[in-house]
Each structure stands twice: as structure tokens, then as C-alpha cells.
Structure 1
Amino acid sequence: MSATETTASATATGQQPHAIASALARGERPARPNALSTSVTFGWRALLKIKHVPEQLFDVTLFPVMMTLIFTYLFGGAIAGSTQDYIAYLAPGILVQSVLFITMYTGATLREDIDRGVFDRFRSLPIWRPSALVGMLLGDAVRYSIAALVTGVVCLIIGWRPGGGLTGVVLGVLTLLVFAFGLTWVWTFLALLMRSQRAVMGTAMMILMPLVFGSNIFADPSTMPGWLQGWISVNPVAHLVDAVRALMDGASAGGEMVWVIGWSAALVAVFGSLTMWKYRDPR
């Protein structure tokens, strides 16, 4: 290679980084997305997954219908004398049960994304760190709302007539969604902590079973043994059911609402912090 060619090559090499930098510097750099916009984007991503895999809606449609029909017609006559009388008591509780059982699928879905390496990419993006998790929970809130709507419609068809009207039902569902949002942080932490979807689902089921079935969803606690009444008195799901039932019946839920808000805030504070700690340091 001649001296002239060597000089030209060196000049071109020296100018290449400058040319690249000049090209990249053209125009204004877009503003960094804020926390709200990134969370909404990830929420929309969660909804698009339902669009592409509509079978995911089976758990928010078929499951609530089956649970409502089974418990109403299996226990209605034995507990209340008729299904008409029993559905008035059961409907708010079965709404709570249907939504709470669905929340554990959030942890399973997160574990699947982690196993596929999706969240490794999310961690590298210049965005608000919790937005991937918060957005996922916001998207799942739509699924919970669908489950509540389906369950409510089935209860109305059976004969449920809430004393609080539409306003009471909406307030009850909103209260349920607030608690479900707090509870879901427990499953997100388990998803980051455990190594498989099966482990997350199994652990979530073990936690939910005593909370849901050891509550006042299906029967009046005054008919139960004293030790079980003691458990129900401190069971957060029982306080949630009391609050939702009062709102839907058009009664005051002041004291129970304090319990629900307190439990929801505690779950977010404790398990939300643990989730973000584990999310930042996945080792």
C-alpha cells in the first residue's frame, strides 16, 4: 500500500466517528418517557397478549360462572333454604373469590416472561424501573374487571338484586380491585423468587385456600366454631367481603373500609418493596 493510500485510509478512519456522531446529533433528542406513559405502555402490552391468545380469558369467564353456579345450587338450599335467599348473601362474596383466585395468574405470567428473557431486556431500557411491573398489574386489572362483570351478570340472572343499586356494585368492585392490586404484589415477588410457574401457582394456591375458604364468603361466621371465628376476625379477605357486601347492599362500610385500605397499603409497601429489591438484583 502506498503512502498516499495509507494517509487517505487514516483520514477516512478518523473522519468516520465524526461523521457518525454528526449524523446522530441531527435533530432534537426525544424526551425521556415519564413513569405514567411507560406504565400505560406495559399495561397495553398485557392486553395485547390477551388479544393474541384469547384463551387467557377462560379463567376470567368460565371459572367465575362455574363457581357461582356450583356454590349457589349446591349449598343454597342447605344453608339459606332456597337459592334466591342464598344468592343475596353469596353474590358479593363470590365476586371476591372469583377475582382473588384469578390474581395468582399474574405471578405465573410474570414467571413465564422472566424464563423467556423478556425482563432482561426491560431492565436495560432507560425507563422508570417499576413501570414494567406496574403496567402489567394495570393490564391485569382489566381482567379482574371482566371477571367481576361476568360474575355479577350471572348472579343477576340467578336472582340477585343488590340493595345499593348500580352505584353500590361499582363501589364494591372498585374496593375489590384495590385489594386485588395489593395482593398481586405478593405473587410478583413469588414469581421473582421461585424458579418455575408450577411453584408460583402451588404456593399461591396454598396461601389463598385458607384466606378464601376460611372466611365469611359462603356462610355466616356466627354458625362456626370459636377458633374459626377468631381466624375470620383477623382474615383480610373476610374484612374485604364485609366491605364489599355492605357497599353492594347500600349500607355503611366505614370500619371495614379502613381494614381493607390498611391491608392493601401494607401489601403494596411490604411486597412491592421486596419485589423491586428482587427485580433490581435478580441473583
Structure 2
Amino acid sequence: MSALAYDGLAMTGRQLRRVRNSPGLAVLTQLMPVNMLLFFGYVFGSALAMPGREYRAFLVPGLLAATAAGGLMTGMFQAAADTHRGVMDRFRSLPVSRAAVPLGQAVADLVVTAVGTVPLLLVGLAVGWRIEGSVPEVACAVGLLLLFRFACTCVGIHLGLLTRSEDAAGQLGAASFVLPLLSDAYIPTGNLPGWLRTIAEWNPISAVTTALRDLFGNAPVPRGAAWPVAHPVAGSLAWSLALIAVFLPLAVRRYRRGE
């Protein structure tokens, strides 16, 4: 086993133990999407031109994509907390692969997300959401979702190492809550003003949400949309791989420099 793989597994284990030692925070984080499903599904569903059950079927893929985008907030806060408390300095003093620390955090977050998505799926099924796609399509949807979560976590880790402050990371993380609102995660974008619709359709969350709806068989791909939404699977892959290619090396570089 290579040094990177061995050290990466060690860092992943450390992050998973960290989650285990803070069960209250983990449960609260995982319950948030469920609460949003119940709130938006029964409040917004009555205000939109969609029957309640149809809107909840529309909403579940959007909440899955928004939850994946939450990797930005969790990655940022955890990296900033470790930096602020001197944990990163201690890691740098050890003979550990420099790429293993941010990579281990991102992989651990991916494991937690995969487990934490199950309650949201079960509640979604309970309120009327159904999976109409084939097994390969569903597997592709899950793969895209996890890949996007990994990409967002890489962005968050870099920003957390950059801010070096838990307070700043918390404020930026709270500000990231607006990103799903500027997408088609919660509402259709077809009736938005032209400039706002363009912003929403070029939001990576919109591409992932549309891909999930298409692969789960919940809604067809909208016509006349921007390229990432008109080709949602390719758009989701392009956005995710681009974010990883840019921000994972930046996170490793920032960690290595320790500035």
C-alpha cells in the first residue's frame, strides 16, 4: 500500500472518529434536510402550480443535491477548526503525506454523507416520492451525487484552510445556504426573469438536480435551458470534475504551505 493510501486511510479514520464523538451534531446535520423536505413539501407545494405529492417528488432530488452542496460548509468549518486549534500544525510535524490530510477529510465526509442520505430517502418515499428509473440509472444518480459532494467538500476544505478562522468559516458557511435558492432545487426556473434564470441554470446545483430528476424518472430534462441543465449528466460530471481538479490541488498546496 502506498504512503498516500495508508496515510489517507488513517486520516479518514480520524475524521470518522471525530463524527462518532459528536453524535448530536451529526444527527442535527442529517435531520436538517428531512425537516426541509417536510416544510417545503407541505408549504411551498400548496403555493406552486403543482399538486402537493407532485411537488414533493420534484423536491426530493433538489434536496439531495442541496445536501451534497452542503459539503462546502462542512469542509470549510472542519478545516478552519483544525487550523485554528493547531491540529494542522501538528499534522505537518508528522511524517504524513501532505495530500492525505485534506483527502482523508473529504473521503470521511463522503462516507458520512452516504449514510446520512438514507433517512432523507426513506422520508421522501413516505411522502410520495418514487424512483421510476432503472437500476443502472439509479446507480448513476447516486454516483453523481457523491461525486458532487466530494467536489464541494474539496472547495470547502480549501476555503477553510484559507480563512484559518472558525468564526469566518461559520459566516461563509451560513452564506452558502443561498446557493440552492439560486438553482432549480426548490422551484422550477422556467418562469424566472431571464438574467436570474441564466444564473440559476449555470449554478452547478441545477445540473445535479436535473440529472437526479432525470435518472430517478421524476421529471424530464427541460427544453431550451442552458447547456449544463440541457445535458445534466454531462454537466454534473463537468462541474464536479472541474471543481475537484482546481480545488483539491489548491487545498493540498495550502495545507503544505501552512500560511
Provide TM-score, normalisation by structure 1: 0.81
Query: CA RMSD for the aligned pairs?
Result: 2.2
Match of 1:6 in 2: none
- Match runs of 1:238-257 below 5 Å: 238-249=206-217, 255-257=231-233
Q: Hey, what's the Cα distance between the residues in 2 that align with 1:149 and 1:168?
A: 18
Match of 2:143 in 1: 174
Report the CA distance shift for 1:186/1:103 in structure 2 as closer, same or farther (over 3 A): closer
**Aligned mates of 2:135, 2:195 — CA distance in 1:** 37
Q: Which moved more, 1:37-46 or 1:159-168?
A: 159-168
Greater RCO (Cα-Cα under 8 Å, separation 6 or more) = 2
> Do structure 1's residue 141 and structure 2's residue 110 form an aligned pair?
yes
Deviation of the 1:228 alpha carbon: 1.4
Structure 1 residue aligned with 2:161: 192
Q: 1:208 and 1:61 mapped to 2: Cα distance?
A: 15
Q: Is residue 112 from structure 1 mapped to residue 81 from structure 2 by the alignment?
A: yes
- Counterpart of 2:38 in structure 1 is 69
Give secondary structure in 2 for the equivalent of 1:66: helix
* Residue matched to 1:274: 250
Q: Secondary structure at the match of 1:218?
A: coil
Q: Is the 8 A contact 2:68 2:148 kept in 1?
A: no
Pair 1:232–1:156, CA change in 2 (3 A): same
SS in 1 for 2:132: coil
Distance 1:49 1:95 in 2: 24
- List runs of 5+ in structure 2 lacking aligned partners: 222-228
For residue 99 of structure 1, report the CA deviation from its aligned partner.
Answer: 3.0
Aligned residue pairs, count: 251
Name structure 1 gaps, 5 residues minimum. 1-31
Deviations 1:131-162 (A, max 9, x none): 01101111111221133211111110111112
Look up the equivalent residue of 1:268 and give its one-letter code. I
Q: Is the 8 A contact 2:41 2:59 kept in 1?
A: yes
The 8 Å contact of residues 145 and 208 in structure 2, kept in 1 or not, is answered as yes
Measured against aligned partners, the alpha-carbon deviations of 1:186-237 in whole angstroms (never above 9, x if no partner) come to 211111111321211222333441x310111122211221121111232111
- Residues of 2 paired with 1:149 and 1:96: CA distance? 14
Instruction: Give the letter aligned to residue 151 of structure 1.
Output: L
Shift of 1:166: 5.6
The reply to whether residue 42 of structure 1 matches residue 33 of structure 2 is: no
Percent sequence identity over matched residues?
A: 31
Answering whether residue 16 of structure 2 is matched by residue 52 of structure 1, we say: no
Cα distance change of structure 1 residues 241 and 176 upon mapping to structure 2, 3 Å threshold: same
Q: Distance in 1 between matches of 2:91 and 2:2?
A: 14
Q: 1:261 to 1:102 in 2, by over 3 A?
A: closer
Give me the TM-score of the superposition, normalised by structure 2: 0.88
Aligned to 2:224: none
Cα offset, 1:168, TM superposition:
3.8
CA apart distance, 1:102: 4.9
User: 2-side partners of 1:176 and 1:68: how far apart?
Assistant: 18
